[in-house]
Chains A and B, each alone.
Chain A
Amino acid sequence: DAGVIQSPRHEVTEMGQEVTLRCKPISGHNSLFWYRQTMMRGLELLIYFNNNVPIDDSGMPEDRFSAKMPNASFSTLKIQPSEPRDSAVYFCASSAGLTNEKLFFGSGTQLSVL
Protein backbone atom coordinates (compact mmCIF):
# COMPACT_ATOMS: atom_id res chain seq x y z
CA ASP A 1 0.00 0.00 0.00
CA ALA A 2 1.26 3.49 -0.82
CA GLY A 3 0.15 4.87 2.52
CA VAL A 4 -1.76 8.10 3.02
CA ILE A 5 -1.23 10.38 0.04
CA GLN A 6 -1.47 14.14 0.35
CA SER A 7 -1.25 16.85 -2.27
CA PRO A 8 0.18 19.29 -2.86
CA ARG A 9 3.40 18.78 -0.95
CA HIS A 10 3.99 22.52 -0.75
CA GLU A 11 1.61 25.42 -1.29
CA VAL A 12 2.49 29.09 -1.36
CA THR A 13 -0.37 31.51 -1.73
CA GLU A 14 -1.32 35.07 -1.05
CA MET A 15 -3.57 36.23 1.73
CA GLY A 16 -7.21 36.09 0.69
CA GLN A 17 -6.81 33.24 -1.77
CA GLU A 18 -8.62 29.94 -1.50
CA VAL A 19 -6.50 26.91 -0.62
CA THR A 20 -7.55 23.30 -1.12
CA LEU A 21 -5.59 20.44 0.40
CA ARG A 22 -6.24 16.89 -0.72
CA CYS A 23 -5.92 13.50 0.90
CA LYS A 24 -6.27 9.89 -0.14
CA PRO A 25 -6.43 7.59 2.91
CA ILE A 26 -5.17 4.04 3.05
CA SER A 27 -7.59 1.74 1.26
CA GLY A 28 -9.92 0.00 3.69
CA HIS A 29 -9.41 2.45 6.52
CA ASN A 30 -12.59 3.69 8.15
CA SER A 31 -11.44 6.92 9.77
CA LEU A 32 -9.74 10.00 8.39
CA PHE A 33 -8.21 12.86 10.34
CA TRP A 34 -6.96 16.33 9.48
CA TYR A 35 -4.24 17.77 11.73
CA ARG A 36 -2.34 21.03 11.73
CA GLN A 37 1.21 21.31 13.08
CA THR A 38 3.02 24.47 14.13
CA MET A 39 5.99 25.03 16.39
CA MET A 40 3.92 27.12 18.76
CA ARG A 41 0.94 24.80 19.15
CA GLY A 42 2.24 21.40 18.11
CA LEU A 43 -0.20 18.93 16.55
CA GLU A 44 -3.83 20.02 16.60
CA LEU A 45 -6.73 17.85 15.49
CA LEU A 46 -8.96 19.86 13.19
CA ILE A 47 -11.63 17.35 12.22
CA TYR A 48 -12.13 13.63 11.81
CA PHE A 49 -14.47 11.41 9.85
CA ASN A 50 -15.78 7.92 10.49
CA ASN A 51 -17.08 6.14 7.38
CA ASN A 52 -17.06 9.48 5.51
CA VAL A 53 -19.20 11.21 8.15
CA PRO A 54 -17.73 14.13 10.14
CA ILE A 55 -17.68 13.15 13.81
CA ASP A 56 -15.84 15.94 15.57
CA ASP A 57 -15.03 19.30 13.98
CA SER A 58 -14.47 21.16 17.23
CA GLY A 59 -10.86 21.77 16.26
CA MET A 60 -11.68 23.66 13.08
CA PRO A 61 -10.44 27.18 13.80
CA GLU A 62 -13.29 29.14 12.27
CA ASP A 63 -15.72 29.30 9.40
CA ARG A 64 -12.93 29.90 6.93
CA PHE A 65 -12.04 26.22 7.27
CA SER A 66 -14.15 23.44 5.82
CA ALA A 67 -13.56 19.75 5.18
CA LYS A 68 -15.37 17.21 3.06
CA MET A 69 -15.14 13.50 2.47
CA PRO A 70 -17.30 12.67 -0.53
CA ASN A 71 -16.21 9.03 -0.58
CA ALA A 72 -14.02 6.57 1.26
CA SER A 73 -10.94 7.34 -0.81
CA PHE A 74 -10.83 11.13 -0.88
CA SER A 75 -11.02 14.12 1.42
CA THR A 76 -10.37 17.83 1.08
CA LEU A 77 -9.58 20.60 3.54
CA LYS A 78 -10.39 24.05 2.25
CA ILE A 79 -9.39 27.43 3.62
CA GLN A 80 -11.23 30.41 2.20
CA PRO A 81 -10.04 33.11 2.51
CA SER A 82 -6.55 32.17 3.68
CA GLU A 83 -4.62 34.30 6.18
CA PRO A 84 -0.91 34.37 7.11
CA ARG A 85 -1.68 32.78 10.49
CA ASP A 86 -2.90 29.69 8.63
CA SER A 87 0.69 28.95 7.63
CA ALA A 88 1.52 25.50 8.99
CA VAL A 89 2.01 21.89 7.98
CA TYR A 90 -1.31 20.16 7.45
CA PHE A 91 -1.38 16.40 7.90
CA CYS A 92 -3.99 13.90 6.89
CA ALA A 93 -4.08 10.57 8.70
CA SER A 94 -6.22 7.47 8.52
CA SER A 95 -6.90 4.52 10.78
CA ALA A 96 -8.48 1.13 10.34
CA GLY A 97 -10.91 1.44 13.22
CA LEU A 98 -13.36 4.06 14.36
CA THR A 99 -11.15 5.53 17.07
CA ASN A 100 -8.02 7.64 17.16
CA GLU A 101 -5.79 4.63 17.74
CA LYS A 102 -2.84 3.84 15.48
CA LEU A 103 -3.04 6.64 12.99
CA PHE A 104 -1.10 6.46 9.74
CA PHE A 105 -0.02 9.92 8.65
CA GLY A 106 0.69 11.31 5.22
CA SER A 107 3.76 13.39 4.46
CA GLY A 108 1.85 16.63 4.96
CA THR A 109 1.28 19.83 3.02
CA GLN A 110 3.51 22.76 3.92
CA LEU A 111 1.28 25.82 3.54
CA SER A 112 2.70 29.32 3.41
CA VAL A 113 0.28 32.23 3.21
CA LEU A 114 2.03 35.48 2.35
Chain B
Amino acid sequence: GESVGLHLPTLSVQEGDNSIINCAYSNSASDYFIWYKQESGKGPQFIIDIRSNMDKRQGQRVTVLLNKTVKHLSLQIAATQPGDSAVYFCAEGAGNNRKLIWGLGTSLAVNP
Protein backbone atom coordinates (compact mmCIF):
# COMPACT_ATOMS: atom_id res chain seq x y z
CA GLY B 1 0.00 0.00 0.00
CA GLU B 2 0.91 3.71 0.00
CA SER B 3 3.16 5.18 2.63
CA VAL B 4 5.09 8.33 3.30
CA GLY B 5 8.86 8.14 3.22
CA LEU B 6 11.93 7.77 1.07
CA HIS B 7 11.40 4.15 0.16
CA LEU B 8 8.50 3.13 -2.00
CA PRO B 9 6.62 0.09 -0.81
CA THR B 10 7.37 -2.77 -3.16
CA LEU B 11 5.17 -5.59 -4.28
CA SER B 12 6.93 -8.55 -5.85
CA VAL B 13 4.88 -11.11 -7.80
CA GLN B 14 5.49 -14.02 -10.11
CA GLU B 15 4.63 -13.68 -13.76
CA GLY B 16 1.13 -14.98 -14.34
CA ASP B 17 -0.06 -14.33 -10.79
CA ASN B 18 -2.61 -11.69 -9.89
CA SER B 19 -1.41 -8.46 -8.25
CA ILE B 20 -3.25 -6.30 -5.76
CA ILE B 21 -1.99 -2.81 -5.05
CA ASN B 22 -3.61 -0.97 -2.17
CA CYS B 23 -4.15 2.68 -1.42
CA ALA B 24 -5.63 4.45 1.59
CA TYR B 25 -7.04 7.87 0.79
CA SER B 26 -7.45 10.73 3.18
CA ASN B 27 -10.36 12.95 2.21
CA SER B 28 -13.84 11.62 2.91
CA ALA B 29 -15.19 14.24 0.48
CA SER B 30 -13.22 12.78 -2.43
CA ASP B 31 -15.53 11.51 -5.14
CA TYR B 32 -13.12 10.64 -7.91
CA PHE B 33 -10.23 8.18 -7.84
CA ILE B 34 -7.68 7.28 -10.44
CA TRP B 35 -4.74 4.95 -10.97
CA TYR B 36 -1.64 5.73 -12.98
CA LYS B 37 1.32 3.58 -14.00
CA GLN B 38 4.79 5.06 -14.33
CA GLU B 39 7.58 3.17 -16.02
CA SER B 40 11.18 4.17 -15.52
CA GLY B 41 12.06 7.32 -17.45
CA LYS B 42 8.48 7.98 -18.54
CA GLY B 43 5.57 10.07 -17.42
CA PRO B 44 2.60 8.58 -15.55
CA GLN B 45 0.13 6.77 -17.78
CA PHE B 46 -3.61 6.61 -17.06
CA ILE B 47 -4.87 3.11 -16.20
CA ILE B 48 -8.39 3.36 -14.84
CA ASP B 49 -10.62 5.67 -12.83
CA ILE B 50 -13.73 5.32 -10.70
CA ARG B 51 -16.30 7.66 -9.24
CA SER B 52 -17.67 7.42 -5.74
CA ASN B 53 -21.09 6.23 -6.92
CA MET B 54 -19.46 2.93 -7.90
CA ASP B 55 -17.55 0.35 -5.87
CA LYS B 56 -16.01 -1.61 -8.72
CA ARG B 57 -14.91 -0.94 -12.24
CA GLN B 58 -13.16 -3.22 -14.70
CA GLY B 59 -10.83 -2.57 -17.56
CA GLN B 60 -8.58 -4.75 -19.63
CA ARG B 61 -6.87 -7.06 -17.10
CA VAL B 62 -7.39 -4.45 -14.37
CA THR B 63 -10.07 -3.94 -11.76
CA VAL B 64 -10.40 -1.06 -9.32
CA LEU B 65 -12.27 -1.56 -6.07
CA LEU B 66 -13.45 1.29 -3.89
CA ASN B 67 -14.46 0.95 -0.24
CA LYS B 68 -15.69 4.32 0.93
CA THR B 69 -16.44 3.07 4.43
CA VAL B 70 -12.77 2.56 5.21
CA LYS B 71 -11.45 4.97 2.55
CA HIS B 72 -9.60 2.27 0.69
CA LEU B 73 -8.86 1.82 -2.97
CA SER B 74 -7.23 -1.14 -4.68
CA LEU B 75 -5.99 -2.00 -8.13
CA GLN B 76 -6.06 -5.62 -9.20
CA ILE B 77 -4.01 -6.75 -12.17
CA ALA B 78 -4.84 -10.16 -13.58
CA ALA B 79 -2.17 -12.47 -15.00
CA THR B 80 0.65 -10.04 -14.26
CA GLN B 81 3.21 -9.68 -17.03
CA PRO B 82 6.81 -8.38 -17.03
CA GLY B 83 5.56 -5.26 -18.81
CA ASP B 84 3.46 -4.46 -15.74
CA SER B 85 6.62 -3.73 -13.74
CA ALA B 86 6.36 -0.05 -12.82
CA VAL B 87 5.43 2.33 -10.04
CA TYR B 88 1.68 2.63 -9.53
CA PHE B 89 0.09 5.80 -8.17
CA CYS B 90 -3.36 6.30 -6.81
CA ALA B 91 -4.88 9.77 -6.67
CA GLU B 92 -8.08 11.18 -5.21
CA GLY B 93 -10.04 14.18 -6.34
CA ALA B 94 -12.84 16.32 -5.03
CA GLY B 95 -14.64 19.49 -5.98
CA ASN B 96 -15.64 20.81 -9.34
CA ASN B 97 -12.15 20.73 -10.81
CA ARG B 98 -11.24 17.36 -9.26
CA LYS B 99 -7.90 18.70 -8.04
CA LEU B 100 -5.89 15.55 -7.40
CA ILE B 101 -4.08 14.45 -4.25
CA TRP B 102 -1.45 11.91 -5.23
CA GLY B 103 -0.07 9.00 -3.26
CA LEU B 104 3.68 8.37 -3.19
CA GLY B 105 3.42 5.19 -5.24
CA THR B 106 3.94 1.45 -4.98
CA SER B 107 6.62 -0.30 -6.95
CA LEU B 108 5.52 -3.52 -8.65
CA ALA B 109 8.23 -6.00 -9.59
CA VAL B 110 7.26 -8.96 -11.77
CA ASN B 111 9.54 -11.98 -11.54
CA PRO B 112 9.79 -14.19 -14.64
The interface of chain A, by Cβ under 8 A from chain B, is 4, 39-40, 42-43, 45, 55-56, 91, 93, 98-108
* A105 and B6 contact, CB distance less than 8 A: no
* B42 and A99 contact, CB distance less than 8 A: no
* A101 and B44 contact, CB distance less than 8 A: no
How many cross-chain pairs have Cβ atoms below 8 Å apart between A and B?
49
A56 and B96 CA atoms in complex are apart in Å by: 13
Q: Does B105 interact with chain A (Cβ within 8 Å)?
A: yes
A101 and B36 CA atoms in complex are apart in Å by: 11
Q: Does B109 interact with chain A (Cβ within 8 Å)?
A: no
Report the minimum CB–CB distance from B25 to chain A (whole Å). 14
Report the minimum CB–CB distance from B29 to chain A (whole Å). 15
Return chain B residues, CB-CB under 8 Å to A100: 93, 97-100
Interface on chain A toward B: helix, strand, loop, or mixed SS?
Answer: loop
Please tell me the size bucket of the interface on B: 20 to 34
Q: Does B84 interact with chain A (Cβ within 8 Å)?
A: no
A104 and B43 CA atoms in complex are apart in Å by: 8
Report the minimum CB–CB distance from B70 to chain A (whole Å). 23
A93 and B96 CA atoms in complex are apart in Å by: 19
- Please, which residue of chain B has its CB at the minimum distance from the CB of A58? B99
Return chain A residues, CB-CB under 8 Å to B34: 101-102
A99 and B97 CA atoms in complex are apart in Å by: 4
- Please, which residue of chain B has its CB at the minimum distance from the CB of A9? B41
* B97 and A56 contact, CB distance less than 8 A: yes
Q: A39-B6, A43-B44, A56-B97 are in contact. Are A102 and B89 (CB under 8 A)?
A: no
Return chain A residues, CB-CB under 8 Å to B100: 45, 100
B39-68 to A contact mask, C-beta < 8 Å, 1/0: 001111110010000000000000000000
* A106 and B43 contact, CB distance less than 8 A: yes
A100 and B41 CA atoms in complex are apart in Å by: 23
